[in-house]
Each structure stands twice: as structure tokens, then as C-alpha cells.
Amino acid sequence: MRFGNFLFPESRVPGRDGDILQEVLREVDLCESLGLEAIWLSEHHFDGNCAYVDPVTFAAAIAARTKRIRIGFAVAQMSLHHPVRIAEQLSLIDNISKGRLLVGLGRGTAYNIYEYQGYGIDHEEAQARFEEAAEILLKAWVSEHGFTHQGSFWNLRVPLLRPRPFTRPHPFVIRAASGEETIVQLGRQGKPFLMNVQSNETTRRRVVLWGQAARGAGFSEDHIASALDQSWVWRNIFVADTDAEAERIALPAFAAMQEHRAAMRKRVEAEQGVSMGHSSAKPPARVDPKHALICGSPSTVAEQIEELGATGAGGAILAFRLGPMTYEQTARSLTLFAQEVMPRTMTLASSMQRSLAVVPE
């Protein structure tokens, strides 16, 4: 597998925001020196769950201080962005980074209604805004003479976009797939995917569905293998010298992280009586450490990473800093992973990825 660090730094009080940001920049430098393939950025607003808030601005800072590591979005909340503005911004960062962008696109949060309220956007419009914005974004990048657009949310007359993207015809684009319907749609298009936290069983089943759809649409085995290699799945992770030490640090941090991420959502629902209506008798995989957290000694983590690789996805987006965890704890975990886990797991055969996208007989 290929590995990236999902920078999702929590800041519990406004007075700590600046300190956390400086620590995250140190984490970026460490990732570059340790040889991870990518840094992945999230986007969340108003709640301290993602201290840098704006992944586009933060990506520019990362691009300016790094030379090799790729910079990904998991994801940019397109319903909150003007598509021409973000096309310009990402084209600029693509030039600064000399083509290191991985532009993950999604509609926006499926849980936090206050993020839409803060931007004055009806959350019911999020998916439609995302689809139209993504269309405009690609037009802006590839058009050689400017273009016009008339849609539901934007009526535009756009001259030639400047600067032109460094990557031609445009930076690498990958879409989020949070459900089976989306994964099938992307399979029919032969496109790679970003998958949110799921159990390994669900991840494998969705990769199989993706493979079914891709083959049904006539894509070759080489194309399928390449697209799977470019697909990424998300997990949280902590590595320590022993399993006991890893569990002692990671499990309370993971629980605290989940509590903090839900705090403002619960407060808004209590105060306003509004929510995005996501309720289920069964907790989602993202809050269950059995599914969402890879945790243990280097040997234990290597085994768990190989199990993740056996689902068929080519890349793992791994969040190393969990909730209130310190920079020192995060840096130690990252270093153990890079020096002791990665060498054991990076030989996982791409042929396994290809075969596991086939429906079992």
C-alpha cells in the first residue's frame, strides 16, 4: 500500500489554535523526512475539530515548505466554495508545488448543519452545489479560451483562467464515496475513489462493487488495477513499542476525539432543534475503534495494515494525531510507523488488489 498522513488536528480552545497550527507544520516536516507519500487535509469549520479550518490556504503553506510529499484534500467541501475562486487557488498551489496536488472533492459534511448555517447555505442544496461546482472547476482548468456557464447556482462568463495549471490537463481529481451508490457510479466511470472510515468487510464489499461496475462498463483489467492503486481509504492509527502502551494512549484519545467532534452538533440540536437527521441504532464505523482505529506495536500494526491492503484499495489515509494527543506522542507514532511498519507492508502485491475487485464465485 501507499501511505498518507491525514492531518486532522483538534484544538479544544481558541487560545490554543496558533500553537496547534505550529505543531501541525512540524508534523508536515516530519512526514516529508520520513518518506510518507502524501499529506491529506480535511475541511471543517467553527468547532475546533480541524484547527487549520481551510485546507486550500493550508495547502499553500505546505507546498511552500516541502519539496517531495504530495498534498491531498479529503475533502474540499465544494458546496462552501465559489468554483472559480477555488479553481484559481488550486491552480496556483499546483504551480507552487510543481504538480503535487491530489484534489479530493466532496459535497461537504453530512453531519454538521452549523457549517452550512455559518456560510448561509441550505444543506439540502449541498449535493447539487457540489455537482455544479465540480463541473465549473474542470471547465476553468481545461478551457483554453474562457467559457460561459448558466446553472442553478452560478451564471458565469469566465475569461481564460490564470495561472494555468502546472499539471496538464489539470491536477489529479478524486471524488469521495461515502455510500454504495456513489462507489458504483465511480466504478461505471472507471474513476478512483476516496472512501471514508468503514469496516474492512464493508470496504472490501464496496471495492468488489466498484470492480463489478467498472468491468460492466468495459474497462480493461489494466485500467481497473491502475484506478484501484490510485484509490484511498481512511483509518485512524497509533503505533507504540507494545500493544499495551498503544492501547493505553490511543483508546482514551480516540474516545475523547469522538466526543469532541459531536459536541457542537449536539449543542446546536439542543438549542435550535435542528440537525441533519443522521440517526441509527447501530453506531457508524467511524466511531467504533474496532473498525476505525489501527493500534498496537509495529508488528501488530503491520498485520492490520496488510488486512486493510487485502480489501483492494491502493492507499491508506492514516490519521496519526487523535484528539487531545500531544505532538510528541504523534511524532513517536509516525516515526515507528515509517521506520518499522512501512518496510514490512509496502511489498503487498498490486496483483492482489486486482484480483480482489473480482466478484467471488
Q: What are the tens digits of pLDDT across the range 177-236?
A: 989 999 999 999 999 999 999 999 999 999 999 999 999 999 999 999 999 999 999 999
The yes-or-no verdict on residue 354 having pLDDT over 70 is no
Give the model confidence (pLDDT) of 115-171 as tens digits: 999 999 999 999 999 999 999 999 999 999 999 999 999 999 999 999 999 999 999
Q: Please report which helix (H) or strand (E) contains residue 75, including its range.
A: none
Instruction: For residue 234, give every residue at least 6 positions away whose Cβ sits within 8 Å of its Cβ, in sequence order, or none.
Output: 6, 74, 194, 195, 196, 197, 316, 317, 318, 319
* Mean pLDDT calculated for residue range 104-114: 95
The yes-or-no verdict on residue 278 having pLDDT over 80 is no
Q: Where are the domains of the chain?
A: 2-355
What are the two backbone dihedrals, phi and then psi, of residue 88, each rounded to the nearest 5 degrees?
-65, -45
* Mean pLDDT calculated for residue range 46-65: 98
Class at the top of the CATH hierarchy for domain 2-355: alpha beta
Q: What is the pTM of this model?
A: 0.94
User: Which of 354, 251, 255, 348 lies closest to 303 in space, CA to CA?
Assistant: 348
Measured CA to CA, the distance from residue 108 to residue 281 in angstroms comes to 24
The yes-or-no verdict on residue 346 having pLDDT over 90 is no
Tell me how crowded residue 352 is: count the other CB atoms within 10 A of its CB: 13
